[in-house]
A and B are shown apart, each in its own frame.
Chain A
């Protein structure tokens, strides 16, 4: 079977047909493809069965895709997801921190 080609943050990678995005990234030695909303900490796949949502990635411009469930499709463009995935990225805003909405503050 011909491997599928896709890119991760611009780097060309391949996936076995039927392989999930998380498995394909992990096979390429990439264990982190997301940063958290508050600490900007690196995260990747944790549960690998779609439960923990730690593996969220932006796929073809669509954020919050669970990489451990999503089979790679030929030509997919995958990018590191920052924060909620709906915020402007650091590159886009030129700021070091991303403004959090009021909903992100703890209720205390």
Chain B
């Protein structure tokens, strides 16, 4: 068994990577666990077969930290465990001051792995918020972030003619990347209205880099003859075995489709996403408190040091509230400094702390303004007909959910789930949770899932009998417990 690390970092995206190298710089022993094969997370994606991610951001932010990670790995200060999916973190006092045990499933063969640490930093990132619409289960409809992932790490062009739709700044970045790669992007369909940003003018002025970024994206779209349709939504996707066209409809202020404004746009792929949702199950499993961000999304409560409400557990990046890579890096560094101070008494440089704190406040204010501007309006449920599948895994329609609410009196997600099985499938409500909550008439609740990813039953059995990590040579059952009990 490896000796306990001072710090276990979960997630090697911008926040986790920054935190791991900063903590190691200060002398801490760090174990960095990440679901990905290579560090960088969803933001710094590597193309298959390439040594380094080829992005503008990559060169500036990623390369120096990846180099430091490599140096720390060579000296043994950082233990990097790629392809490790952490499925739970439990308090577990042990030798060497260990306070936490992290359980992971490693590699394609799903071998069990256990890490002990004195402190934990959760940098588990986010996934895309999806609002259902008729046809969204057709092959060829994919997440906007998914299209970016396919393009960056595939590296594969998702299609020849790709409509990008949903809400949030990611859409412009995705459309820009696709167009630059030679994909025809006939339209970016944005449900919000950019005039909403005008309400946050002082915040915009303090973030000129963000404005420049927006202008660059806008310019790129103009060059590629992509139309930006604000206050519009894709309200249906059409096709038989895969998407062939989409219906684009104008929305009112509340995202309600305006009758008589629909038009059909041919495409072979639809890339769609409505912003990001923090991935919280490890944290909520530990009892960390959550708050609600301006787009009604649950995120972790953290203090000035990025500490969660559970002593010994810190959080950085999207886990603490979606805000982009620059904010994630800043939060990762603040957390690492605080952890080194808390664990080893490493003195903090007040000027550095003040600068990081100012930077965080400025970027957080921008993130909040953005979240408010793209907050889904209540009227989007108007584009769901009763046959629209809301829960992709269990194939539960909007009609069944509405019936549960109106006929059986279900007024919360949990009751709807029990009555219809919505959210009980493989993804455990990650795709439909927001939609089901809205249809049930309540704001989306923080994730509460005992396991954060599928786990072979043998691993759980080994824990229960106290035999420690399961024998990796034993046959594992590929059944998982996260699908609500269905085999």
A residues in contact (CB < 8 Å) with B: 1, 15-20, 22-23, 26-27, 31-32, 36-39, 41-54, 56, 62-65, 68-71, 73, 84, 86, 101, 103-104, 106-108
Contacts and interface: CB of A to CB of B under 8 A. Distances in A.
B478 interface: yes
Contact of B145 (A16, A18, A39, A47): A47
B392 interface: yes
A103 B485 CA distance: 8
Main secondary structure of the interface of B (DSSP, over half): loop
A99 B142 CA distance: 30
Contact of A49 (B46, B145, B394, B400): B145
Interface string B377-415: 000000000000000111110001000000010000000
A18 B142 contact: no
Nearest to B408: A108
Interface of B: 35, 37, 42, 46, 48-49, 108, 127-128, 137, 139-143, 145-147, 149-150, 153-156, 158, 241-242, 392-396, 400, 408, 418-421, 425-427, 430-431, 453-454, 478-480, 485-487
Contact of A43 (B46, B49, B108, B139): B139
Contacts of A73: 108
Contacts of B419: 106-108
A48 B485 contact: no
Contacts of B140: 31, 44
Contacts of B145: 47-49
A45 B153 CA distance: 14
Contacts of B479: 86
B143 A56 contact: no
A70 B486 contact: no
Which of A32, A46, A54 counts the most B-chain CB atoms under 10 A from its CB? A46
12 contacts: A20-B153, A23-B153, A43-B392, A46-B146, A47-B142, A47-B143, A52-B143, A53-B427, A65-B108, A71-B108, A84-B486, A101-B486
The 9 closest A-B pairs by CB, nearest first: A48-B146, A53-B426, A19-B48, A23-B154, A18-B48, A32-B139, A31-B139, A48-B149, A27-B156
Contact of B487 (A15, A16, A86): A86
DSSP majority for the A interface?
Answer: loop
A69 B146 CA distance: 12
B464 to A, nearest CB: 22
A16 B421 contact: no
Contact of B37 (A18, A22, A36, A46): A18
Contacts of B142: 45-48
Contacts of B42: 49
B241 A32 contact: yes
B158 to A, nearest CB: 7
A59 to B, nearest CB: 8
B108, B128, B139, B395: which has the most chain A beta carbons within 10 Å? Answer: B139
Contacts of A1: 49
B154 A19 contact: yes
A54 B46 CA distance: 23
B347 to A, nearest CB: 39
Contact of B128 (A47, A62, A70): A47
A49 B127 contact: yes
